[in-house]
Chain A
């Protein structure tokens, strides 16, 4: 991902004024290296080669994220809801380093056209199937869906007080719903319009609404439900009359101004009291598809089909004068395709569209401290694992929205040195393509370490399959008659010896199932902690099968004793959500990565943080480590080297060697150069616990297959772009 790499580079220098000496230490290091290079060449390297691996570099996971359709920002909790074209809804916690903490799986018939927060923390969506859906943010499922009986729904807006919900339908009706504590209730219809209502906006006082349709904008009086004004929009586009002018977005300001954006590339300001056009800005040659206004109403943002986002600000006409004017201040081009939706948080502009990136562009003047939070964020990949791996059979299971792919990795007999590509003696095989039945997306999937089981789940069904390998043939046998309580899983995990299956259901309970040849037996269910219904999104089991760790999004990590079937302990809750969990072999240390890039090591037998964890918390992580902008999604361990922790995010892979000293801010965290000419002394001095490789990116999965072999699954951005529809072409030369 080009954008993110650039930002992290750009930020290193200006963001840490307090660490001015850092570059000098690097320089000093370099000169020293030159001085003693002659001496060291002949000597053998005294350090053991701690990290030489054969890496299976996999790029055939042809995953394409769905385009972003809507974003909705919740000021109260500083969370962002994002819906994608496949109906998936994701929740990002902007306070927790933009971590994607929850998601609701998509559904083929549920294309979301509108998304909004109401009554504080309640999330609603509406779509072309004509239903309004409320999401349960605790249990991570759909609370209810309700047909609005108006045909496909194109737009939705919650009233400023949050107690009413307004939807715009295909048949031209605008319907008002009352939001009750448990459900929503239809209240009444507004005056029916001629054609579909594509956009809606409430006046901040809640007395009027503006509705954008085709060729005109209507202003309704909420009390009477009648149209007070109808503002016709010019179809003309640069002198050419287009067939229709679609009002993609409207925004109603408290002074009565209505701002509209339309398919002719215009941003227009209307006076809703008189129904007259006040001002027009022609911003694009293509559609302007989205608009969002800040809470203070002093700035707004629009997104165009050309991928440009324009920032408008209310600015004084001259200094000292109170007269203010909307001025187009900043254009941003972070997208290649249509910007389908925008949002305006108090400190940032958020945009998303067909090119699948979620872009968060902080407003520099609103950011108090110019630190890493001020950097542009581009989120492309989900913050959860889509890949699981069978170490024994060298299998990779890829999870797509509606199917699973099972691949067997190839092999080689050759050896080589760092950087070599080895000739393959056997290529990778595509073993299985498993399509789900029904319209629901797959939530999670897992292949057992032995490779004989595949389990996956959709929102309403849980599937368990047994794989039989006979020479080159594979037969798949679905285990039928799943128990009633196993309807939907948030996370699935097999024990190391593949005899047990752990399933986290969306009611907060954890099921343990014993797997037998071709059948299963329900062993136990850990019920949710009394008073909570939070689902456990992350699971980890110890290699000896005795301990099970489970974590939700906010509460701490629970550790269960699988033998005694009881809760062993709870790791104290931390401010930031957990992004990855793993239990180390032998020591049974639980390693927890959080979205603020902190890593904790907790000894399960001792029920306390380990000494190493305390040391690193005391000393603090290297500042470059904390500035990484993607979360750690997977942690694993080396079977023979208990001091090593392997972990990765989307842009780097790291081995933490706990026996080495921790780096401080003056040390070079990432050194891509092989230390060929270095003396013993220098190596000893500069060696630190974090061994980082940035060779594979964007990295979706990395795991250790055996002592000397790694598997890395990359998904190059170019391959994703190649699968998107072509963007609007802009001529570079001539006129």
Chain B
């Protein structure tokens, strides 16, 4: 859940004396430090956690800072522009801005853009872009005009797109908006016209952008109070022709603020945006966090003293002027945590089939550092262990280096050798490192996919999702359902998003094709879909006389798919995190899955113990939970599908029967307790007796 924490102010000194508030808040090369550029003549460096200024610099009387100061992440210097053309570079040691390095440029600068990992870029008001180094080498170089005369740059942002810097800026001319995207690896400028749609009259008040795979997701807040999203491709399919493309914006959130005031928008993460502005025309200004996926307001905070309509977001802090005072509000959006994921643990495991090390010894996984701090009497004992550990550390290191260069076959052999060695206390972390090593190579070398090695490692029963985060993603990419099944069976902590992605794949047609592909390869790795539950129940089924209606007697899916789905049923999840992902599954698949679950339920109810046959069958609770989840997530969709109608009716019936069972069970429990009480009373009566005892 997104949450705003208690706000705090950075300085009691009023800032933003100018009508436009602050010029900018920019990150520094040191975490937690930010450069604040006042509208007038001052740049202040703040350490946010201490709420303290670390330094302050001013330009001379008569000069005006025209562009917010930024930090050059490569050199650690600060850069500011005053009087549109004069560039100043300085460091923390400098005191007087007048005495620092100065360069006068030939054209007016719109903004200096700096992000970690690349050199700062200078965007001129005419739309031209120069690297800082090139510009400093020759300050008076001629700057061409990229945009037309009456166009004015409204907003700009600088990104790293796959390790290459890319720049987007928006211009406006007579109420029309244009977006320019410039990439520096190809130095091509693509121009797009933003089509506003029906709301031609509205004026765009604020922009924000984020990277969304192959697109820049440009969000804009219009004066009608709505947030629109425009997707601008980063890699235009044909740069020559697309010199002047049109992009349409789509409505993302409706009327989040009242349009009249000065509002601001900032993207927080892929699902959350922060909006600054009054929610109603008459009301006070508010900072609100919206979830764009669910279109819901997550949290809102009133700012009674008004703002300057500016909002900056870095890391975990939102910066704004509240009244005249710079205010920082920490923002947090908790991701699904391990504890959350373990909220619903796997249960009903056969001790024979899966020996998951549920008891992780935290002590040993904390490395040697903490061991040294142990009481002295343990040292001797430890020393022995350490002595035995030391020669093995190179073994894993050696394997890791093998992974980096050798062939799949060789790696497999080395791995087998390595696994034959006795396990050390940090065995699971070593295995995790090996998997990460393998995956690292997978990412760099698309043809490299050491399936056998990975399968072997997973079957060591020591891995968890957190130990090798990329593994399931790679398996998903390769549609390797066997690997996914194994992971689902072995890992206790798979995020719900990944579980759902697996489910999606298992329900899709990919499963059928795969089966044809390499049956032998599958068996070789010890994976045998026939062994699993539904293989058995299917066989049993065919032997039985078909006396009930057709739909309930035959398994709606092929055994292999059933086995895969069972793996999903067994996985751990937390409802709140799973539900949103379940909504993305197509309706047909939902129906199919529901049919399968219903089938399982019927099979379950056939015997008195309410269990399914097979080695590792899903439990009744798991089946029920998943039915509830699916219906919760997709009820409106399912209810519209005619095929699902009878299914829903039967589901309704069995829910009713479940409620009956529960109430009966509760009654029985109470009766038993009463019986126990009676029994106890009977025992109590024998308070005294004389018995005969013989000792042997």
0/1 string, B348-379, CB within 8 A of A gives 1: 00000000000101111111000001010010
0/1 string, B672-689, CB within 8 A of A gives 1: 000000001001101111
- Which of A53, A55, A674, A732 contacts B696 (CB under 8 A)? A674
- A379 CB, min distance to chain B CBs, angstroms: 24
25 A-B pairs with C-beta separation under 8 A: A49-B694, A50-B695, A51-B693, A51-B694, A52-B692, A52-B695, A53-B692, A54-B691, A59-B686, A59-B688, A276-B6, A318-B466, A319-B429, A319-B467, A328-B339, A366-B363, A418-B692, A418-B694, A421-B690, A422-B691, A422-B692, A424-B689, A655-B695, A695-B693, A733-B669
Pick the 6 closest A-B CB pairs, nearest first. A51-B695, A734-B662, A418-B694, A733-B665, A691-B695, A60-B687
Within the assembled complex, what's the spacing in Å between the Cα atoms of A564 and B683?
A: 53
Question: Interface with B: A26-34, A145-153, A354-362, A409-417, which one?
Answer: A409-417
Within the assembled complex, what's the spacing in Å between the Cα atoms of A412 and B695?
A: 21
Which residues does chain A contribute within 8 Å of B362, judged by CB atoms?
313, 315, 329, 365
Could you tell me which residues of chain B, from 643 to 690, have a CB within 8 Å of some CB in chain A? 659, 662-663, 665-666, 669, 680, 683-684, 686-690
* A734–B696 CB distance below 8 A: no
* B339–A734 CB distance below 8 A: no
**Given A316-B365, A722-B680, A733-B666, A53–B687 Cβ distance below 8 Å?**
no
**Given A316-B366, A318-B466, A365-B363, A55–B691 Cβ distance below 8 Å?**
yes
Which residues does chain B contribute within 8 Å of A411, judged by CB atoms?
690
Q: Taking CB as reference atom, which chain B residue is nearest A718?
A: B680
* B696–A58 CB distance below 8 A: no
- Chain B CB within 10 A, most for which of A55, A415, A675: A55
Q: Taking CB as reference atom, which chain A residue is nearest B688?
A: A428
* B690–A410 CB distance below 8 A: yes
0/1 string, A26-65, CB within 8 A of B gives 1: 0000000000000000000000011111111111100000
Q: Does A239 contact B (CB under 8 A)?
A: no
- B468 CB, min distance to chain A CBs, angstroms: 11
Q: Is the interface of A mostly helix, strand, loop or mixed?
A: loop
Q: Does A420 contact B (CB under 8 A)?
A: yes
Could you tell me which residues of chain A, from 283 to 336, have a CB within 8 Å of some CB in chain B? 296, 313, 315-316, 318-320, 327-329
Which residues does chain A contribute within 8 Å of B659, judged by CB atoms?
734
Could you tell me which residues of chain A, from 520 to 576, have a CB within 8 Å of some CB in chain B? none
Within the assembled complex, what's the spacing in Å between the Cα atoms of A313 and B338?
A: 14
Within the assembled complex, what's the spacing in Å between the Cα atoms of A424 and B671?
A: 34
- A436 CB, min distance to chain B CBs, angstroms: 25
* B692–A55 CB distance below 8 A: yes
* A320–B680 CB distance below 8 A: no
Q: Does B20 contact A (CB under 8 A)?
A: no
Q: Does A368 contact B (CB under 8 A)?
A: yes
Q: Does B309 contact A (CB under 8 A)?
A: no
Within the assembled complex, what's the spacing in Å between the Cα atoms of A428 and B689?
A: 9
Which residues does chain B contribute within 8 Å of A53, judged by CB atoms?
692-695
Which residues does chain B contribute within 8 Å of A366, judged by CB atoms?
363
Which residues does chain A contribute within 8 Å of B692, judged by CB atoms?
52-55, 415-420, 422
Within the assembled complex, what's the spacing in Å between the Cα atoms of A254 and B663?
A: 51
Within the assembled complex, what's the spacing in Å between the Cα atoms of A710 and B691?
A: 10
Which residues does chain A contribute within 8 Å of B687, judged by CB atoms?
58-60
Q: Does B225 contact A (CB under 8 A)?
A: no
* B694–A365 CB distance below 8 A: no
* B467–A734 CB distance below 8 A: no
Q: Taking CB as reference atom, which chain B residue is nearest A318?
A: B466
Q: Does A611 contact B (CB under 8 A)?
A: no
Which residues does chain B contribute within 8 Å of A365, judged by CB atoms?
361-364
Within the assembled complex, what's the spacing in Å between the Cα atoms of A329 and B342?
A: 11
* A57–B684 CB distance below 8 A: no
Could you tell me which residues of chain A, from 388 to 411, have a CB within 8 Å of some CB in chain B? 410-411
- Given contact pairs A54-B693, A319-B467, a sample of 7 additional A-B residue pairs in the complex whose CB atoms are under 8 Å apart: A56-B690, A316-B366, A320-B429, A412-B690, A418-B692, A421-B690, A427-B688
- Chain B CB within 10 A, most for which of A327, A655, A692: A327
Q: Does B5 contact A (CB under 8 A)?
A: yes
Could you tell me which residues of chain A, from 44 to 92, have a CB within 8 Å of some CB in chain B? 49-60
* A693–B693 CB distance below 8 A: yes
Which residues does chain B contribute within 8 Å of A2, judged by CB atoms?
none
Within the assembled complex, what's the spacing in Å between the Cα atoms of A691 and B466?
A: 56
* A734–B665 CB distance below 8 A: yes
- A47 CB, min distance to chain B CBs, angstroms: 9
Q: Which residue numbers of A lie inside 8 Å of B, CB to CB?
A: 49-60, 276, 296, 313, 315-316, 318-320, 327-329, 346, 364-366, 368, 410-412, 415-422, 424, 427-428, 655, 671, 673-675, 691-693, 695, 710, 716, 718-719, 722, 731-734
Could you tell me which residues of chain B, from 333 to 348, have a CB within 8 Å of some CB in chain A? 338-339
**Given A315-B362, A365-B361, A368-B378, A57–B669 Cβ distance below 8 Å?**
no
* B688–A691 CB distance below 8 A: no
Which residues does chain A contribute within 8 Å of B688, judged by CB atoms?
56-60, 410, 424, 427-428
Which residues does chain A contribute within 8 Å of B359, judged by CB atoms?
364
Within the assembled complex, what's the spacing in Å between the Cα atoms of A313 and B365?
A: 13
Q: Does B383 contact A (CB under 8 A)?
A: no
Which residues does chain A contribute within 8 Å of B665, judged by CB atoms?
732-734
Within the assembled complex, what's the spacing in Å between the Cα atoms of A315 and B361?
A: 11
- B545 CB, min distance to chain A CBs, angstroms: 34
- Chain A CB within 10 A, most for which of B429, B467, B695: B695
Within the assembled complex, what's the spacing in Å between the Cα atoms of A365 and B361?
A: 7
**Given A52-B694, A418-B694, A733–B662 Cβ distance below 8 Å?**
yes
Which residues does chain A contribute within 8 Å of B466, judged by CB atoms?
318
Q: Taking CB as reference atom, which chain A residue is nearest B661?
A: A733
- Chain A CB within 10 A, most for which of B366, B680, B687, B692: B692
Q: Does B432 contact A (CB under 8 A)?
A: yes
Q: Does B174 contact A (CB under 8 A)?
A: no
Which residues does chain A contribute within 8 Å of B680, judged by CB atoms?
718, 722
Q: Taking CB as reference atom, which chain A residue is nearest B426?
A: A319
* B367–A57 CB distance below 8 A: no
- B601 CB, min distance to chain A CBs, angstroms: 17
* A418–B381 CB distance below 8 A: no
Which residues does chain A contribute within 8 Å of B694, judged by CB atoms?
49, 51-53, 417-418, 674
- Which of A52, A422, A655 contacts B690 (CB under 8 A)? A422
* B690–A327 CB distance below 8 A: no
Within the assembled complex, what's the spacing in Å between the Cα atoms of A99 and B686?
A: 32
Which residues does chain A contribute within 8 Å of B683, judged by CB atoms?
716, 718
- Which of B429, B684, B691 contacts A421 (CB under 8 A)? B691
- Chain A CB within 10 A, most for which of B373, B466, B696: B696
Within the assembled complex, what's the spacing in Å between the Cα atoms of A671 and B426?
A: 44
* B693–A55 CB distance below 8 A: yes
* B338–A327 CB distance below 8 A: yes
Which residues does chain B contribute within 8 Å of A420, judged by CB atoms?
691-692
0/1 string, B412-424, CB within 8 A of A gives 1: 0000000000000
- A302 CB, min distance to chain B CBs, angstroms: 15
Q: Taking CB as reference atom, which chain A residue is nearest B330?
A: A276
Within the assembled complex, what's the spacing in Å between the Cα atoms of A315 and B363?
A: 9
Within the assembled complex, what's the spacing in Å between the Cα atoms of A611 and B364?
A: 49
- Which of B363, B364, B696 contacts A671 (CB under 8 A)? B696
0/1 string, B1-16, CB within 8 A of A gives 1: 0000110000000000
